[in-house]
């Protein structure tokens, strides 16, 4: 297979990496990303404002999910490392806070040797302001003490029963953000998140090609995220009559059999995220992982670096972002960024807590990947690049973990289909 059958070896942003390249890479990366997301506290806890923000489009009443599987178990702050508690974060955050300058060795020494050689890393939390280079809205720890800590490992993305008009309306609104050919003033949201008012029409917007590469990339990212969510709800499905969780083959068949492009978009997102993580290989050695525990910080950094170095090891490069946004005249990059932010605002309209949690994690993860792809200089370390907040880092790695697991689930469903064929 290849994503672009007539151009199997062409690795361009529109997803022409071959399926087998990606599958081989996933053989190496899945155990690494699984380990870092499941086995480190740093990547297991995510702080977000899950309940405090309202949907700017419609009343939530018809979108709410009453099913118990939708509920998220939040954590008492006393059970999380002190450094992430609102009280502690309050001390560190502030308008003057900046990225820590504590330097780490370029190449981390083996853990045993490194321990005890250096003092505790400083942990400085960045201010909660939206950077103009962000593709997503911050769900930051320093958001005025608001929000909840959620364990991502204890709240796995799986079937919740959230469906019907509420869910369909959110997806519809998300796909509407892909209307790049519309003048920007007609966007369904303004930059403050409210319904758009009249805005000055920039004629250059009209020149945006309906089929431009950037528009296709935007669509593929959203569709790939949607497909990955569908894959997980089918893979970890609740049989409501037996009360057992297991893969549901007919759920998979109905959502994917006649829609090969949905699977292609999962592969596409895999390539995009793997490239973004690989692009961090010079950034991570000088990045501060704050868990409040020196030993944990070292372990987390070592694991993150191993993942980034392995992700960067594919040749040729798996995803080439340099061909995007070449035509800066039309402000396409800015529009792309603003539409992506609108998608993250739409997550507040998701009427199921667990779906909203994973929806927010994944939009933040893709937003972070886009920020790295289009705003980062990969030859520089953390001091020469935009800051990545802890929430961005956690979201990026967990989003990659989701897509990596989607490919595993796809293998599992393919096996089930083959077995079914053999017995028939």
Chain positions contacting ligand FAD, by CB under 6 A: 157, 159-160, 162-163, 167-168, 170-171, 223, 226-227, 229-230, 233, 262, 350, 354-355, 358-359
Task: State the nearest-atom distance from the C-beta of 351 to ligand FAD, in Å.
Answer: 9
298 is in an annotated binding site: no
Q: Which is nearer to ligand FAD, 104 or 223 (CB)?
A: 223
Task: State the nearest-atom distance from the C-beta of 217 to ligand FAD, in Å.
Answer: 14
Is 136 among the residues known to form the active site?
Answer: no
CA dihedral of residues 253, 259, 260, 261 (deg, nearest 10): -140
Planar angle of CA 216, 185, 209, nearest 5 degrees: 30
102 is in an annotated binding site: no
DSSP per-residue codes, 123-165: --PPPS---TT-SS----TTSTT-SEEEETTTS--------HH
223 is in an annotated binding site: yes
Q: Which is nearer to ligand FAD, 362 or 385 (CB)?
A: 362
At residue 195, the 3 state secondary structure works out as strand
Q: Are 388 and 308 in contact (CB under 8 A)?
A: no
Q: Which is nearer to ligand FAD, 221 or 284 (CB)?
A: 221
At residue 74, the 3 state secondary structure works out as strand
CA dihedral of residues 377, 380, 381, 382 (deg, nearest 10): -40
188 is in an annotated binding site: no
Q: Which is nearer to ligand FAD, 40 or 223 (CB)?
A: 223
Q: Which is nearer to ligand FAD, 159 or 319 (CB)?
A: 159
Task: State the nearest-atom distance from the C-beta of 220 to ligand FAD, in Å.
Answer: 9
Task: State the nearest-atom distance from the C-beta of 406 to ligand FAD, in Å.
Answer: 11
CA dihedral of residues 140, 157, 174, 351 (deg, nearest 10): -80
Q: Are 307 and 32 in contact (CB under 8 A)?
A: yes
Task: State the nearest-atom distance from the C-beta of 229 to ligand FAD, in Å.
Answer: 5
At residue 14, the 3 state secondary structure works out as coil
- Return the H-helix or E-strand segment holding 48: strand 45-48
Set 55, 70, 290, 352: catalytic member: 352
Residue ranges of the binding site for FAD: 158, 160, 171, 223, 226, 255
Residue ranges of the binding site: 158, 160, 171, 223, 226, 255
Active site amino acids? 352, 355
């Amino acid at each position: 297979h290849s994503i672009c059958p007539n151009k199997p070896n062409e690795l361009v942003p529109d997803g022409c990496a071959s399926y087998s390249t990606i599958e081989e890479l996933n053989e190496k990366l899945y155990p690494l990303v699984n380990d870092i997301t499941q086995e480190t506290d740093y990547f297991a806890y995510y702080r977000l404002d899950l309940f405090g923000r309202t949907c700017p489009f419609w009343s939530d009443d018809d979108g709410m999910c009453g099913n118990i599987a939708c509920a998220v178990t939040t954590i008492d702050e006393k059970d999380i490392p002190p450094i992430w508690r609102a009280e502690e974060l309050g001390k560190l955050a502030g308008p003057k806070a900046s990225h820590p300058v504590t330097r780490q060795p370029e190449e981390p020494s083996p853990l045993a040797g490194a321990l005890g050689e250096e003092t505790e890393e400083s942990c400085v939390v960045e201010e909660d302001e939206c950077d103009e280079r962000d593709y997503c809205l911050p769900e930051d720890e320093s958001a005025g003490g608001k929000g909840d800590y959620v364990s991502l490992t204890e709240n796995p993305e799986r079937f919740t029963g959230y469906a019907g008009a509420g869910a369909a309306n959110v997806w519809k609104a998300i796909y509407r953000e892909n209307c790049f050919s519309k003048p920007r003033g007609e966007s369904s949201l303004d930059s403050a998140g409210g319904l758009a008012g009249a805005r000055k029409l920039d004629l250059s917007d009209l020149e945006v090609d309906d089929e431009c590469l950037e528009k296709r990339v935007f669509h593929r990212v959203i569709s790939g995220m949607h497909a990955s969510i569908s894959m997980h709800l089918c893979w970890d499905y609740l049989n409501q009559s037996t009360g057992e969780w297991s893969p549901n083959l007919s759920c998979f068949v109905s959502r994917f059999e006649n829609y090969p492009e949905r699977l292609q978009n999962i592969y596409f997102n895999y390539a995009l995220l793997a490239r973004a993580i690989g692009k961090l290989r010079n950034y991570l050695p000088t990045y501060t992982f704050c868990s409040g525990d020196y030993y944990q910080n070292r372990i987390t950094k070592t694991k993150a670096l191993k993942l980034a170095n392995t992700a960067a090891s594919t040749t040729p490069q798996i995803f080439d972002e340099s061909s995007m946004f070449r035509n800066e005249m039309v402000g396409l990059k800015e529009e792309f960024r603003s539409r992506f932010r609108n998608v993250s605002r739409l997550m507040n309209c998701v009427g199921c807590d667990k779906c909203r949690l994973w929806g927010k994690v994944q939009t933040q993860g893709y937003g972070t990947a886009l920020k790295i792809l289009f705003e980062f200089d990969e030859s520089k370390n953390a001091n020469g690049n935009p800051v990545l907040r802890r929430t961005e880092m956690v979201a990026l790695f967990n989003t990659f973990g989701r897509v990596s697991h989607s490919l595993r689930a796809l293998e599992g469903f393919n096996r089930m289909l083959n077995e079914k064929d053999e017995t028939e």
